[in-house]
Amino acid sequence: MPTPLHRLEAWQAARLLARRELSAEDLLRDCLARIAEREPELRAFTYLDATAALDRAVALDHGPVHGLLHGLPLGVKDLFDTADMPTGYGSPIYAGHQPKADAAAVALCREAGAIVLGKTVTTELANMFPGVTRNPHNLAHTPGGSSSGSAAAVADAMLPLALGTQTAGSLIRPAAFCGVVGYKPSHNRVPRAGVKGLSDTLDTPGGFARSVRDAALLGAVLTGDARLADPALFEPTRAPRIGWCQSPDWEHADADTEAAWFQAERALAGHLLAVELPQALVPLTGIQKAVQAFETARSLSHERRHHAAHLSQALQALIDDGLNITGAAHAHNLQATWLARAAAASLFDSVDVLLAPSSIGEAPLGLASTGDPVFCRSWTLLGLPCVHLPFARGQRGLPVGLQLIGAFGDDHRLMAAAHWVHARLLAG
């Protein structure tokens, strides 16, 4: 049987669409059928506009090829402003809010030919209080957060690509829980204009896909780096040098992550070099928490002053923590962050990428929590590009994987290595 259209990888569909061997309308209708089948249970979307999407698909089919994402359906986390769709930021405070303009990342994707099909569920203001989305592998489990709907929609083959953001672990963790590729670019490689902000130091737009090559295609549009879309990138001339980095938070890993870790060790035997973080990088988890709390408390000043009754207790507690941090202490934390980012460059003196845990283990049971981002906090603080690679299953049959981390600005080299590593993890 041929692959159903909604299950085509984005780069494959893009090639067929560019050659006019596949119509954008046919691909979109297949995705819409999948959404109609699964959305009542999965609840990945806050808003869908099938009519406008179909009109866009027909126009693309009758016009010139538009760009790298020509005709590809795209989900947009409801943290990104959209001029033609309401944007609620996961909060009742913004129910019915209609922005006047697209976020820069959304506009870039539209310019590249993407069809924005709808807005996907985010947790409350991209923090820890969960939305309504369920894990597509088991509806009783969380999909992770805060980019819950985007990860779940891509994992369930509703869409080939979706946008998300990360301030702590909001791209990598839901990718891990839902079993898809999640890509967090180097900090500030993707414009944040029009994205509801929490932390200037940490916030990073990125996305979800079902393969590394798909994630790189989306990354090429978001970052403007054409190297990410070069097919030669996925035909490496040598094996990457992979740093084996358990991270200082390894004690939090459960049996499922440990099993995936040793499965990877076997699959990548002969290509691994143990890497130990310098002492200066060990306390970064605590620094990230403090930076996020301080900057979130101030970024949400309006909501705190005028709509406190509509904020969850969890978010109010985070804001309180942030308000208790002095400006002098934050300045010290920022200085430690810049020093750590400079020191992180030495991690890649002898390796091309680092392999590290993505999550504690499988997606937790229940929808009251989105899980712990402990294994993502340090890499986010360092601003390094990260990509989650799904390849294993835990004891409950839910996805488990690991993440690769690259040097700052080396997103294209990270993706080349990730493509090579992922193939071996899946085969091993």
Domains and CATH numbers, the chain: 5-234 (3.90.1300.10)
Output Rg (C-alpha) for the chain, integer angstroms.
20
The CA dihedral of 290, 291, 292, 293, to the nearest 10 degrees, is 50
Q: What is the mean pLDDT of the chain?
A: 97
CA distance 220 to 114: 13
The answer to whether residue 184 is catalytic is: no
The answer to whether residue 119 is catalytic is: no
* Annotated catalytic residue within 23, 77, 299, 378: 77
Q: Which pair of structure tokens corresponds to residue 70? A: 């020509």
* Annotated catalytic residue within 147, 148, 150, 170: 170
The tally of CA atoms less than 13 A away on the side-chain side of residue 136 is: 23
Q: Spell out the per-residue pLDDT of the chain, length 428, in tens.
A: 478 999 999 999 999 999 999 999 999 999 999 999 999 999 999 999 999 999 999 999 999 999 999 999 999 999 999 999 999 999 999 999 999 999 999 999 999 999 999 999 999 999 999 999 999 999 999 999 999 999 999 999 999 999 999 999 999 999 999 999 999 999 999 999 999 999 999 999 999 999 999 999 999 999 999 999 999 999 988 999 999 998 889 999 999 999 999 999 999 999 999 998 888 788 899 999 999 999 999 999 999 999 999 999 999 999 999 999 999 999 999 999 999 999 999 999 999 999 999 999 999 999 999 999 999 999 999 999 999 999 999 999 999 999 999 999 999 999 999 999 999 999 98
H-helix or E-strand spanning residue 195: none
* Annotated catalytic residue within 23, 91, 119, 146: 146
Q: Is the pTM of this model over 0.85?
A: yes
CA distance 90 to 121: 7
